[in-house]
C-alpha cells in the first residue's frame, strides 16, 4: 500500500465518530448456561477481603451463546465471583437470532425504554451504544471509572476516542476483533496439491476450480442469513476498493454505482457456485459445524471469533490468512460494556466494568474468545499464535471500520444492504442488487 492509502488510528477514529452507527457483530454469537460459582481465574488488583460486603445481583445481557464465547464470558464471571462471592450473577445471554445480537438487542431496547435495565450489556464500542442509548440519556458517563482504573493510560488513544461522546467515555472495551480472516483446512488444500491459501480472488477461483473437480466445496456460505453474506461482501469490497475508497462508500466520495462495486457483487455471486449444495438452508450459527465436518468446505471467511469457537470444539485442522486481497488491512470492531442509568445494583455494575477492563480480566477473556485485548499491557505469554499475529497486525496494518459489525455506516443502510444481498441470493441478479444499494446509499444521504 502506498502512503496515501494508509490510515492513522486518529483518522480512523475520526471516521468512526462521524459516520458509524455501530450495530451488529461480531457476528460473535454463542449459548450460555447460568454461570457456575467459583473458578481459578486470577483476581484483579483488589482482594476478596477488600471487596467484602458486595451482595445483591449482577444481570449481564449478551449474545454470546456458543463455543469459545461462552467460555470467555465465564472466565470474566469466575473472576467476578472470586472478588464478590455474595453477588448472584445472572447470565442473561440470548442468541443473536435475526442478525448479530438481534434478539438480545430487541429485548434490551424494551428493558431500557421501560426503565428496567440489566446491570450491564454487551455492545459494540462507539456509535452503536451512543446512537442507541447515550444520546437518549439512558447511560452514565464513565469519567470517574476511567480515572480510577487508569484506562486512559492503558487503552490506545483510538479506542478512547471511539468510546467517547461529548467529551465523556461511555463503555469499557474488553477486546479487539478482526473481521477479514480466511480460515482454511490445510488437509483439504493439500488434497489438491496446494499448501498456501489464495492471496487474491483470481488465485481463490483457480483453487476453487481444483477443489470442485475433486468434489470438495471451496467455501463455507450461510445462505439462510443475510448478515453472513453481508460479511462476505464487506471483505470483497475492501479488497477491490482499497482502504480509502472503502471508506469513501460511506462519506459520499465514492458512489455505490462504481464499477468496483459491480466487480465485488460479481465475485460474491460466483462464490455461491463453489459452496455446499444446501447452502441456502445453512445459518450463521451452523457454519462452524459444517466447516469442521469431514465433507465440509476447504475455506471460510469469518471474523476471529471463529478461532475461539474452533478451539472450544477441539478442532485443529485449520490455519488462517487475511481474506483474499486484504493483506495489510485490519477490518476492526470491539465489544464493550457500559453502565445504564437506574440499575438496581449500581455498585455491582461498576465492579463488573472494573473486571472487564482489568488486565487480569482481558487476559482471561481474550485467549478463549479468539480476540486480542484492548489494553496495551497484555501478558503476551497467555496468547496463542493466531492472537500474537493479530496483535502485530493491529499495530502495523491499515485500519478500516466494519460495515456488517457496525462501525462504517448507520443502521438503516446496513439493513438495506443485507436485504439487497438476500434478494441477490434468490435472483442472482448483480445489476438489480447494485441498483438497490445505490438507492440505499441515497436514502442514507452519505456525505450530506
- Convert the pLDDT of each residue in 391-439 to its tens digit: 999 989 998 888 888 778 877 888 899 999 999 999 999 999 999 999 9
Query: Is it the case that residue 148 has pLDDT exceeding 90?
Result: yes
Question: How far is it, in rounded angstroms, from Cα 17 to Cα 231?
Answer: 21
Q: How many helices (H) and strands (E) does the chain have?
A: 18, 13
- Convert the pLDDT of each residue in 198-223 to its tens digit: 999 999 999 999 999 999 999 999 99
Does residue 354 share a domain with residue 214?
Answer: no
Query: Is it the case that residue 261 has pLDDT exceeding 50?
Result: yes
- Convert the pLDDT of each residue in 99-110 to its tens digit: 455 678 889 999
**Structural domains of the chain, count:** 2
Question: How many Cα atoms occupy the beta-carbon half-sphere of 50 within 13 Å?
Answer: 6
Q: Is residue 129 part of a domain?
A: yes
Does residue 115 share a domain with residue 50?
Answer: yes
- Supply the range of the domain harboring residue 113: 11-176+334-391
What 147-150 contacts at long range (C-beta under 8 Å, 24+ apart), as own/partner pairs, is 149/354, 149/357, 149/358
Query: Is it the case that residue 4 has pLDDT exceeding 80?
Result: no
Which has more confidence, 20 or 293? 293
Say if residue 275 is exposed, middle or buried (CB neighbours under 10 Å; 0-12, 13-18, 19+). buried
Does residue 417 share a domain with residue 374?
Answer: no
Query: Is it the case that residue 171 has pLDDT exceeding 90?
Result: yes
Q: Is residue 1 part of a domain?
A: no
| C-alpha cell read off for 42 | 486470577
What proportion of the chain, given as a percentage, has pLDDT over 90? 72
User: How far from 123 is each of 24, 34, 91, 355, 370, CA to CA, in Å?
Assistant: 9, 20, 15, 16, 18
Does residue 438 share a domain with residue 379?
Answer: no
Query: Mean of the pLDDT values across residues 344-364?
Result: 98
Does residue 145 share a domain with residue 17?
Answer: yes
Does residue 119 share a domain with residue 152?
Answer: yes
Query: Is it the case that residue 17 has pLDDT exceeding 80?
Result: no
The pLDDT, as a whole number, for residue 96 is: 55
Does residue 121 share a domain with residue 101?
Answer: yes
Task: For cell 446491570, name the residue.
Answer: 119
What 13-17 contacts at long range (C-beta under 8 Å, 24+ apart), as own/partner pairs, is 13/157, 13/158, 13/161, 13/162, 14/161, 15/247, 15/251, 15/401, 16/126, 16/127, 16/162, 16/401, 16/407, 17/126, 17/127, 17/161, 17/162
Q: Is residue 299 part of a domain?
A: yes
Does residue 292 share a domain with residue 262?
Answer: yes
CATH code for position 259: 3.40.190.10
Q: Is the Cβ–Cβ distance between 39 and 81 less than 8 Å?
A: yes
Does residue 191 share a domain with residue 49?
Answer: no
Q: Is the Cβ–Cβ distance between 372 and 92 less than 8 Å?
A: no
Q: Is residue 55 part of a domain?
A: yes
Q: Is residue 4 part of a domain?
A: no
Question: How far is it, in rounded angstroms, from Cα 8 to Cα 359?
Answer: 26
Q: Is residue 405 part of a domain?
A: no
Does residue 292 share a domain with residue 420?
Answer: yes
| C-alpha cell read off for 144 | 470517574
Does residue 131 share a domain with residue 88?
Answer: yes
Ranges 47-51, 154-158, 265-269, 403-407: which has the least confidence: 47-51
Does residue 166 share a domain with residue 31?
Answer: yes
Confidence category of residue 26, pLDDT binned at 50, 70, 90: very low
Q: Is residue 2 part of a domain?
A: no
Ranges 6-15, 62-71, 165-174, 381-390: which has the least confidence: 6-15
Angle between helical axes of 411-427 and 259-271 (0-180°, round to 10)? 50
Q: Is residue 396 part of a domain?
A: no
The pLDDT, as a whole number, for residue 323 is: 98
Amino acid at each position: 500500500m502506498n502512503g496515501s492509502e494508509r490510515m492513522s488510528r486518529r483518522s480512523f477514529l475520526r471516521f468512526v465518530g462521524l459516520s458509524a452507527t455501530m450495530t451488529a457483530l461480531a457476528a460473535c454469537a454463542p449459548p450460555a448456561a447460568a454461570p457456575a460459582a467459583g473458578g481459578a481465574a486470577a483476581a484483579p488488583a483488589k482482594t476478596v477481603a477488600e471487596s467484602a460486603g458486595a451482595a445483591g445481583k449482577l444481570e449481564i445481557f449478551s449474545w454470546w451463546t456458543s463455543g469459545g464465547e461462552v467460555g470467555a464470558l465465564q472466565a470474566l464471571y469466575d473472576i467476578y465471583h472470586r472478588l464478590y462471592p455474595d453477588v448472584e450473577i445472572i447470565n442473561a445471554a440470548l442468541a443473536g437470532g435475526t442478525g448479530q445480537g438481534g434478539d438480545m438487542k430487541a429485548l434490551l431496547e424494551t428493558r431500557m425504554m421501560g426503565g428496567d435495565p440489566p446491570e450491564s450489556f454487551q455492545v459494540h464500542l462507539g456509535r452503536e451504544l451512543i446512537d442507541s442509548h447515550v444520546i437518549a440519556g439512558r447511560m452514565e458517563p464513565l469519567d470517574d471509572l476511567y480515572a480510577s482504573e487508569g484506562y486512559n493510560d492503558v487503552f490506545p488513544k483510538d479506542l478512547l476516542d471511539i468510546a467517547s461522546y461529548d467529551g465523556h467515555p461511555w463503555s469499557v472495551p474488553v477486546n479487539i476483533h478482526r473481521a477479514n480472516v480466511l480460515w482454511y483446512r490445510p488437509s483439504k488444500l493439500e488434497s489438491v496439491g496446494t499448501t498456501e491459501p489464495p492471496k487474491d480472488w483470481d488465485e481463490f477461483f483457480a483453487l476453487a476450480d481444483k477443489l470442485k473437480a475433486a468434489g470438495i466445496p471451496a467455501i463455507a456460505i450461510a445462505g439462510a442469513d443475510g448478515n453472513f453474506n453481508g460479511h462476505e461482501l464487506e471483505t470483497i469490497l475492501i479488497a477491490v476498493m482499497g482502504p480509502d475508497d472503502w471508506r469513501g462508500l460511506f462519506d459520499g466520495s465514492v458512489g455505490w454505482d462504481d464499477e468496483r462495486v459491480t466487480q465485488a457483487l460479481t465475485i460474491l455471486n460466483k462464490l455461491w457456485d463453489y459452496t455446499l449444495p444446501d447452502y441456502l438452508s445453512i445459518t450463521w450459527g451452523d457454519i462452524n459445524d459444517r466447516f469442521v465436518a469431514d465433507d465440509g468446505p476447504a475455506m471460510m471467511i469469518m471474523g476471529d471469533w471463529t478461532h475461539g469457537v474452533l478451539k472450544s470444539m477441539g478442532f485443529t485442522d485449520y490455519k488462517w490468512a487475511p481474506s483474499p486481497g486484504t493483506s495489510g488491512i485490519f477490518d476492526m470492531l470491539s465489544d464493550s460494556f457500559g453502565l445504564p442509568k437506574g440499575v438496581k445494583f449500581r455498585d455491582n455494575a461498576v465492579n463488573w466494568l472494573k473486571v472487564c477492563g482489568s488486565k487480569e480480566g482481558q487476559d482471561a477473556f481474550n485467549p478463549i474468545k479468539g480476540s486480542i485485548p484492548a489494553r496495551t499491557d497484555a501478558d503476551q505469554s497467555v496468547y496463542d499464535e493466531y492472537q500474537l499475529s493479530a496483535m502485530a497486525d493491529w499495530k502495523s496494518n491499515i485500519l478500516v471500520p466494519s460495515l456488517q459489525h457496525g462501525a462504517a455506516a448507520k443502521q438503516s443502510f446496513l439493513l438495506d444492504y443485507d436485504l439487497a444481498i438476500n434478494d441477490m441470493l434468490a435472483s442472482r441478479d448483480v445489476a438489480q442488487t447494485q441498483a438497490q444499494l445505490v438507492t440505499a446509499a441515497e436514502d442514507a444521504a452519505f456525505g450530506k
